[in-house]
Amino acid sequence: MTLKPAVIGIDTGGTKLAAHISDGTLWSAAALTRPTPAAAQPAALAGLQPGTAAHTAALEQGRAALLAALSDIGRALLAEAAALGVQIVAVGVGSAGQIDPVAGCVVDANENLVGWKGTPVAAALRAALGVPVYVENDVRAMLLAETTLGAAHEYAHVLGVAIGTGIGGALVLHGRIWHGAHYSAGEIGYVQAAPGHSIEDLYAGPAIARRYCQQHAPQADFTLVEIARRAHAGDATCAAAIASAAADLGAVLAPVFGLIDPQAVVIGGGVPAVGGLWWQPFTAAIRAARLKNVQQLPILPARLGPDAGRIGAARLAAQKAGLL
């Protein structure tokens, strides 16, 4: 009996790993979500002097811990696929960082994932799982999902922006992911917001929370989720912190949107999930732009939500495997 072919899509983030079995459409089964291993997060480097043996060991542990967790998820889903009567023919991985999709490795990355720069993700997982593995930047995976199955399926030229633990971007031109000459097209997180500070430094979720605590609760260690909860409960100071960050980010991004001039922009990630407290000031700042095309630009909430990354990774794998 010939088994139905399927793929595994994995979304790799700074705080969680999410994966599922799929045929590259919205059909999915056996979804798994696990926290990113603590050893792969920046806290593993707290207090360590760069260049020391302890620092080097922490970097190596971070990479090894994350690859081990990804391998474990892949093995669990391979077993589940056998129980479901489907055959996994490829694995797609959406990963933070600047990704070389041909070699399947991380060209560059910040320390949201410790020691991730230079990791040969595809080769390591292929050796662990025994099936072809394809790797793409996580925001590109999100945008691939949103432009084929989600909010922007009607558009050929789309900019995607993900605002969460960090800020990333991706471009689709003529219906295809545009990587650029060095695989960095769409890397919007490094746009300067203030001297010495990028938009990721100031407007990603942890940055908003950190600034709020510094200004209003120096003894606390609130996350953006807690600040949003208090804002929705009527805390005006919390609401103002979210609105201010959203408006400032919108004002910085508006001329970037004009420069790129896409047909639509898809906004995803955990920060926009705060809701109207964030969305209204963000879009208002964009509508205040001088360029008419930016004022009228469709700003679309990511329709597939937190599942977009793994759906896009599965879509990538299904395309590479010839299922679509």
58 and 14 inside one domain:
yes
Q: Is residue 26 part of a domain?
A: yes
Supply the angle between the helices 53-84 and 121-129 in degrees, to the nearest 10: 50
Can you state the angle between helices 224-232 and 205-216, rounded to 10 degrees? 70
- pLDDT at 321 (0 to 100): 96
DSSP H helical segments within 120-170, as ranges? 121-129, 138-148
Tell whether 165 is covered by a domain: yes
Helix (H) / strand (E) element for 268: namely strand 264-268
The verdict on 285 and 311 lying in the same domain is no
Find the helix or strand (DSSP H, E) in which 51 lies.
none
Are 169 and 117 found together in one domain? no
Same domain for 313 and 294, yes or no, is no
- What is the distance of C-alpha 204 from the center of its chain? 12
For residues 87 and 78, what is the distance between their CA atoms, to the nearest angstrom? 8
Is residue 218 located within the same domain as residue 281? Answer: yes
Would 148 be classed as within a structural domain? Answer: no
Coil, helix or strand for 60?
helix
172 Cβ partners below 8 Å, 6+ apart? 143, 144, 147, 152, 156, 157, 158, 160, 178
Residue 242 pLDDT: 98
Three-state SS across 4-37?
Answer: EEEEEEEEECCCEEEEEEECCCCCEEEEEEEECC
- Token pair 């600034």 is found at 211
Does the predicted model carry a pTM greater than 0.85? yes
**CA dist 53 to 45, 58, 292, Å?**
12, 9, 55
Q: What DSSP state is assigned to residue 109? A: -
Q: Does one domain contain both 225 and 265?
A: yes
Same domain, 219 and 296: yes
Say whether both 21 and 82 belong to one domain: yes
Q: How far apart are CA 204 and CA 165, in angstroms?
A: 6
60 and 122 co-located in one domain: yes
- Please answer whether residues 258 and 291 qualify as being in contact, where contact means their C-beta atoms are separated by less than 8 angstroms: yes
Look-up: residue for tokens 């922009």? 265
Q: Which residues pair with 18 in a beta bridge?
A: 11, 33
- Looking at the structure, tell me whether residues 196 and 289 fall in a common domain: yes
CB–CB of 94/121 below 8 Å? no
Residue 311 covered by a domain: yes
Please report, for the domain that includes residue 199, its CATH number.
Answer: 3.30.420.40
244 lies in which domain range? 155-302
Same domain, 182 and 269: yes
**Hey, what are 120's tokens?**
């040969």
Residue 172 — φ and ψ, nearest 5°? -115, 125
Total domains present in the chain:
2
Q: Compute CA distances 269 → 132, 165, 187, whole Å.
A: 28, 8, 15
Measured distance CA(214)–CA(210) in Å, rounded:
6
- Shared-domain flag, residues 189 and 260: yes
The CA distance from 318 to 305, in Å, is 20
Both tokens of 170, joined, read: 């991706």
Q: Tens digit of pLDDT per residue, the chain (324 long)?
A: 567 999 999 999 877 899 999 999 988 888 999 988 888 887 667 667 777 887 777 777 889 999 999 999 999 999 999 999 999 999 999 999 999 999 999 999 887 788 899 999 999 999 999 999 999 999 999 999 999 999 999 999 999 999 998 899 999 999 999 999 999 999 999 999 999 999 999 999 999 999 999 999 999 999 999 999 999 999 999 999 999 999 999 999 999 999 999 999 999 999 999 999 999 999 999 999 999 999 999 999 999 988 999 999 999 999 999 999
